[in-house]
Amino acid sequence: MRRSTRSLLVAAATAALVLPLCTATAAAAAPPGFSNADKGALRNQAPRDLAIGSAVWGQRDLLEYDRAAPTEYQQVLSTQFSSLTPENDMKWDAVHPAPGVYDFTSADALVAYAKANHQQVRGHTLLWHSQNPAWVTAASRTWTCDDARAVLEDHIRTVVGHFKGEIYEWDVANEIFQDTWDNGGVRLRTEANPFLKACADDPVALVEDAFRWAHEADPGAVLFLNDYNAEGINEKTDAYYALAEQMLADGAPLGGFGAQGHLSLLYGFDTSIQANFERFAALGLKVAVTEADVRIPLQAGETGPTPEQVAVQAERYDAMLRACLNVTACSSFTVWGFPDANSWVPGVFPGEGWATIFEDDFTPKPAFTAMLQSLTDATPGTSPRR
């Protein structure tokens, strides 16, 4: 579908939103996002117990921030979202580039921006197999478990301690299970994750200690397990459920389970997301959609998706949000960045794109409109099942 057709498709759905967006951004020098008259802001229509967030890359988008003259991106970010997740700024390679060396420049800028705009921050991430600096991946080839534990403990205590009181939820352990199609089915990543590999004799003990170290560094933060392909009830989430039961029985301070929500129209939609969230909530855990986007396969030579694809994308975003709204324990719903120019999708999934809820000119897509309506329909101040 050509861009002109797509613009016609979204025009009717977004016409009522353009004025609120512009009104809010024009007054960005004042604390944004709190005017009852602004009905076009996701953060304003959300129940008070649900944070609506976006991923952001502070190094790229927030280091240059003048509250009196914000960029258009910064205006939309502050107007629409009550929570920010650092897409890259708190990962190992960003904050711990060399042994004993920590660099919080871009992460601090992100936290400062959030404070200035009355937003919360989700920390991401402390134990992961990817985006580790070269010194970690090289040294880990000869690490003993004691070596790995010492390095990980120092990192977690330093990073979480640096942001004590400023992070409401932390993704402590991210993507620690492999998928069913990865040679042998669902199992802990004791090959790809350098820390779990060094402690392969008892990786769960290391995961539990990671949570203990994070909790001791900041007792006020809710600590999450987080993964992709973890939306509905499947082999991977069964493994996470069993791990959560074990961790809680062992007294580890596990506080939440996060489903990333990276979806594609190439595959069907798992309608068991609410049931999955409910079973983790029954363990006493918070649940969250932590990295939502819905990518669309794009044909070569076409400039955008078809109307049918756009409609399905909106349905899937909204279905994830409504599953969250329908579970009392769902504490946050985060989209993985915007607009499409900032999306990680085309670089990782060639031939797919248009995955966010804003076009590159910050026009809201039908997915935005559907989510806004569901938030508006939710019981004010509390999610529907409270």
Active site residues: 175, 291
- In whole angstroms, give the CA distance from residue 332 to residue 374: 15
Question: Distance between alpha carbon 288 and the CA centroid of its chain, in Å?
Answer: 9
Question: CB–CB of 364/21 below 8 Å?
Answer: yes
Residues linked to residue 287 through DSSP beta bridges, in sequence order: 257, 330
Q: Counting every residue, how long is the chain?
A: 386
- In whole angstroms, give the CA distance from residue 257 to residue 282: 12
Task: Return all residues near 217 (Cβ < 8 A) that are at least 6 apart.
Answer: 156, 157, 160, 161, 164
CA of 289: how far to CAs of 54, 117, 226, 250, 262, in Å? 11, 22, 9, 26, 10
What's 273's DSSP letter?
A: H
- In whole angstroms, give the CA distance from residue 288 to residue 50: 10
